[in-house]
A and B are shown apart, each in its own frame.
Chain A
Amino acid sequence: MTDANPTGPPVIAGQVSESAPPAAESRTKTAGPMVVEVTNAASRGSAKEPLAGRRTVTIDPVTRIEGHARVFLDLADDGSLISAGLVVNELRGFERILVGMEADRMPLITARICGVCPSAHHLAASKAIEAAAGVTPPPAAKLLRELLYMGHYIHSHSLSLFVLQGPDLILGLDADPAIRNVVGVVEAAPEVAKKALRLRTLGQKINEMVGGRGVHPVTSLAGGIAFRLDEEKKRILTDWVEEALALGPELIGVARDKLLQQVEAHPELLRDWVVPAWNMGTVNDGKASLYDGTLRVMDEVGTVRDEFQAADYDRHLVESVLDWSYMKPVHYRETGSGEERLYRVGALARINCVDSMGTPVADQLLAGFRRDFGRPAHQVVLHAYARIIELIYAVERAREILADPRIDGETRAEVRFTGGRGVAHVEAPRGTLIHDYRIDERGIITSANLIVATQQNYACINQSITQAAMSHVIGRADDGLLNAIEFAIRCYDPCLSCATHALGQMPLEVLVRQAGQPVRSVRREV
């Protein structure tokens, strides 16, 4: 029953039952192409609403993203697109879970919000409880935290570029889904894959040596870092950083070339996938800064509209609820007019916001990027390019930190909780992450609020889904191109674990509705 009309509205091709499972013959035991099903519901339509036909497109789940989700496309009677969105289908409720716990556990407990960016939560929580206690950690502790974090960035951006997006870039958007994965990449480009995995490994090893563990680091606590760096560890870390520096240029060249090849093969990516949004990222004296700094907001034409400290986030950022998703989108509220603006966070937003990266190779790359795409850039495929620039920045910055003599100093400051509120942020790999706690005089959490990266990109992601559906799905029947919707989502490297602190998982399914009614949710099952 796989059937599609490539040009016009869906054809009348069969019958549909609201409760029936999707056609068994359209599924295979092994990996098959995603299915575009065209079904006719005319026999069930109400007399008032004559139906030309109904079309059900299913991508279930969205894959190679961090978590579970599905996409819905809402079609009008004539088959045109009304709206589209990402449904995030998991909720854990950390805002409630954390209340009643000991504040000094937050760096350990909140790492468990996300196994993909645990270091971001580990550090944001450390900084927030320090803010509540009015404590500043010693310089060595700040440097060690940033070093840990650069390791994490190297790991996370490598994973995103080479493992999650890599299959699209190296094998092509329309490659056979059975091989369109990291194993396929290893087979198609074994040398590149090996080096890319090595770069990720080096990042994670740096993260682990400084953080005590790779996934869910443990050494950052209220007042600083639990250990002092000895010469032996410093030597090993330096070796790893030098190895990463040596791997960097080749891998970065490959990633950039592959990205540009895909863009050439699919010119609509640069032309149509444009979301003119505001940008938010962290700067320190105008330079890139991932561990600490001032939040800068830039509008869609490149004017800096605001700079503020994380402690004031609740005056500027406003969440709202979509009744169909556990993830809450966030908008930037303009001072004065109170108008709410669409904005993005993450690598592309940061690249747009900063005046410079502050390290030599990354600044060269940034100059090339701006020459080719301008400032600010709004093409969502360029998120990957921005990640490439940040990847080399992280390696260069790690070298600077290891060469800084202050890293050998005291790593702990004394902390006492006397009751108060603490807000702090870091730039997580996927965007600004804010932790906000109220702590009582016993040192117990009495309220917790979290703004994570992916929810701030949510409104942009939904626009990109619409654009991808328009350019690659609506009116076409090529199964391979359904991957384009997923690719658009992957550009943001969305992390639904974070998103489901209040969200958790993210495979994806597409549900098509018509005239406001769900036509049918098709899950492809064996």
Chain B
Amino acid sequence: MNAARKIGLNLEWLSDCGGCHVAIVDVHEKILDILGAVQIQHCPVLTDIKDYPHADIGIVSGAIRTEHDRHVAQEMRASCDKVIAWGTCAIYGGIPGAALAHSREEILQAVYTRNPTTRTNEAPHSQVALLEKQVIPLDEVIGVDMYLPGCPPHAAFIFDALLALVEGRAPKARQETVCARCTRSMKKSEETRLKSNHDGIPDPDLCLLSQGYVCLGSVTLDRCLSPCPSQGVMCTGCAGPTMQILTEPNRDLRTEVADRMSRLTAIPREEIVASMERSGKSHYAYAMASKMVGEKPTFLIRKWIAEVEEEA
């Protein structure tokens, strides 16, 4: 080959939805530039290369849910010089990680043995990989060199990350929150009521917190360019928490949001905290499987979920 050596790329997806791979295609026309600079090798969704050739870079999306996922993760680590944890599931467990509060048996019951439209009465038990006890983020199983959160990360971040790899520089890892690109203005209001997503029609210019909507934009890393609050939908934290929340034991989604929201509205801080605990499974869905969130001393997600389910 006379041209400059292409960068070898292996890609894999573990327990996730595949959206992080579709998002790569969503760099649209620029995909052709990238294809010109890299050699895509193992990538089950695109190529027919079944083994794991040596690669400069490995992109792994998805968390570890089964023993098979663990094995594949190890294959990627062994074959790739650098491994990138790609997307929220790989980094924090993502939505599959919201199974944290449930045992493997409970999951198998819900899907197979106590499922309303399933007439058989057994769970699969031969030829399938056993479930791990919990959903495990990638870096608890293999070493990870870089992280790109997002559910999925917006194409702008993906393109920069891939370009950085091609150019041999560090990607621009901005630390802004979703608020940074949100066009709404934070104003003090007299709002007294906490609202759900479907509750009324939000004012298009005013911060959702000011209007009583529990938007997680201020505690969520921007890897999305803020589409949700811009369209009138609360941020649900899909790119995972900010570094501050991850690294400081006394900071947490509910305390940070409650502090901010109680200053912006007439809703008492304690009421907001209590409401977010009751809805803990929704608010912490994306990152609860991560030790950085799950092992905070005040994070009692199993208790909160159990209480909500008992009341049902």
**Cα–Cα distance between A182 and B231 once the two chains are bound (Å):** 34
- B26:A60 contact, CB within 8 angstroms: no
> Which stretch of A38-46, A315-323, A351-359 is in the interface?
A315-323
Binary flags per residue of A212-234, CB closer than 8 Å to B gives 1, else 0: 11111011011100110000000
Which residue in chain A gives the minimum CB-CB distance to B106? A96
Which B residues touch A114, using CB under 8 A?
Answer: 17-19
Restricting to A288-334, which residues have a CB under 8 Å from any CB of B? 313-314, 317-326, 328
Q: A116 is contacted by which of B19, B54, B125, B230 (Cβ under 8 Å)? A: B19
Which A residues touch B96, using CB under 8 A?
Answer: 92-93, 97, 504
- A321:B151 contact, CB within 8 angstroms: no
- A318:B198 contact, CB within 8 angstroms: no
Closest Cβ of chain A to B136, distance in Å, is 13
Q: Does residue A502 face the partner (Cβ distance < 8 Å to B)? A: yes
Binary flags per residue of A7-35, CB closer than 8 Å to B gives 1, else 0: 00000000000000000000111111010
Restricting to A79-105, which residues have a CB under 8 Å from any CB of B? 87-93, 95-97, 99-102, 104-105
**Cα–Cα distance between A219 and B227 once the two chains are bound (Å):** 9
Which A residues touch B308, using CB under 8 A?
Answer: 100, 444
Q: Does residue B1 face the partner (Cβ distance < 8 Å to A)? A: no
- B48:A328 contact, CB within 8 angstroms: no
- A100:B45 contact, CB within 8 angstroms: no
Which B residues touch A500, using CB under 8 A?
Answer: 15
Which A residues touch B131, using CB under 8 A?
Answer: 91
Q: B46 is contacted by which of A181, A216, A314, A495 (Cβ under 8 Å)? A: A181
Q: Give the dominant DSSP class at B's interface.
A: loop
Given contacts A100-B309, A218-B228, contact A320 B25 (CB under 8 A): no
Q: Give the dominant DSSP class at A's interface.
A: loop
Binary flags per residue of A62-73, CB closer than 8 Å to B gives 1, else 0: 111111100010
**Cα–Cα distance between A27 and B22 once the two chains are bound (Å):** 30
Given contacts A96-B102, A112-B17, contact A64 B46 (CB under 8 A): yes
Given contacts A97-B99, A177-B48, contact A89 B128 (CB under 8 A): yes
> Which stretch of A246-254, A369-377, A425-433, A505-513 is in the interface?
A505-513
**Cα–Cα distance between A451 and B15 once the two chains are bound (Å):** 19
- A180:B119 contact, CB within 8 angstroms: no
- B62:A34 contact, CB within 8 angstroms: no
Which residue in chain B gives the minimum CB-CB distance to A193? B32
Which A residues touch B94, using CB under 8 A?
Answer: 112
- B124:A180 contact, CB within 8 angstroms: no
Which B residues touch A412, using CB under 8 A?
Answer: 201
Residues of A within 8 A of B (CB): 27-32, 34, 59-68, 72, 87-93, 95-97, 99-102, 104-105, 108-109, 112-116, 118, 159, 163-164, 167, 177-178, 180-183, 186, 194, 197-198, 200-201, 204-205, 212-216, 218-219, 221-223, 226-227, 313-314, 317-326, 328, 412, 414-415, 440, 442-444, 446-447, 449, 451, 483, 486, 495, 497, 500, 502, 504-507, 511, 524-526
Q: List 6 A-B contacts (CB under 8 A).
A: A30-B41, A63-B44, A177-B49, A178-B49, A226-B231, A525-B52
Known contacts A213-B227, A215-B23; 8 additional CB pairs below 8 A are: A91-B107, A95-B111, A114-B17, A116-B22, A204-B26, A222-B198, A317-B117, A449-B117
The 6 closest A-B pairs by CB, nearest first: A115-B19, A93-B107, A507-B44, A96-B110, A115-B17, A177-B48
